[in-house]
C-alpha cells in the first residue's frame, strides 16, 4: 500500500552536513520525496508536534533543540513508507540503533539523534498538517 509519511532531518544533522547523505538513503530504499523544505520549526509547530510530551522532564529541552537551527522537512511516499522509514532510521537512541541505519551510523546521542519520522499513518497525517498546512 502506498503511504505518505513525515520525516524531519534535525538541526544536528543539518549542521553536520548530512542532508544529502540522508536523502540519498531515503531514495535508495525506493521511497519518493514529494516535498522537501529547509526551514525553522516554530515554537508553535514544536508544541503541536510534541504535545504528548508536555509536562515530561525533557519537554523544554526538546522544544529548545528542535527550534535551535534549520531542519529539513519532508513528505515522503512509497510502498509501506511509514515502516520502511522507521526501519531505515533505526532505534531512537543511536546507542541501540543497528549499523546501517541512519541513527546507527550518524547519531551521537539520544538528544542529537539526527532524524524524526512519523510512527504511524495517523501520526504522519497529523505531522504533515502541522509542518505543511
| Amino acid 39: pLDDT | 97
CATH code, 91: 3.30.70.141
Rounded Cα distance between 80 and 64, Å, is 32
Domain containing residue 19: 2-132
The domain total for the chain is 1
Q: Is 116 a residue of the active site? A: yes
The one-digit pLDDT tens for each residue of the chain (133 residues) are 779 999 999 999 999 999 999 999 999 999 999 999 999 999 999 999 999 999 999 999 999 999 999 999 999 999 999 999 999 999 999 999 999 999 999 999 988 899 999 999 999 999 999 999 8
Burial (CB count <10 Å: 0-12, 13-18, 19+), residue 131: buried
Rounded Cα distance between 117 and 4, Å, is 11
Active-site option among 66, 88, 116, 131: 116
| Amino acid 112: pLDDT | 87
Angle between helices 81-89 and 19-28 (to 10 degrees): 130
What's the order of all strands across the beta sheet hosting 115-117?
32-39, 71-79, 2-9, 115-117
Amino acid at each position: 500500500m502506498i503511504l505518505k509519511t513525515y520525516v524531519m532531518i534535525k538541526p544536528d544533522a543539518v549542521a553536520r552536513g548530512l542532508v544529502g547523505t540522508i536523502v540519498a538513503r531515503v531514495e535508495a530504499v525506493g521511497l519518493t520525496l514529494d516535498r522537501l523544505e529547509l526551514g525553522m520549526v516554530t515554537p508553535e509547530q514544536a508544541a503541536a508536534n510534541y504535545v504528548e510530551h508536555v509536562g515530561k522532564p525533557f519537554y523544554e529541552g526538546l522544544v529548545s533543540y528542535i527550534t535551535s537551527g534549520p531542519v529539513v522537512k519532508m513528505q515522503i511516499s512509497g510502498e509501506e513508507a511509514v515502516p520502511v522509514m522507521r526501519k531505515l532510521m533505526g532505534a531512537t537512541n543511536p546507542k541501540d540503533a543497528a549499523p546501517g541505519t541512519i541513527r546507527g551510523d550518524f547519531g551521537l546521542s539520544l538528544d542529537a539523534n539526527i532524524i524524526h519520522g512519523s510512527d504511524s499513518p495517523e501520526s504522519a497525517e497529523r505531522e504533515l498538517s502541522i509542518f505543511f498546512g
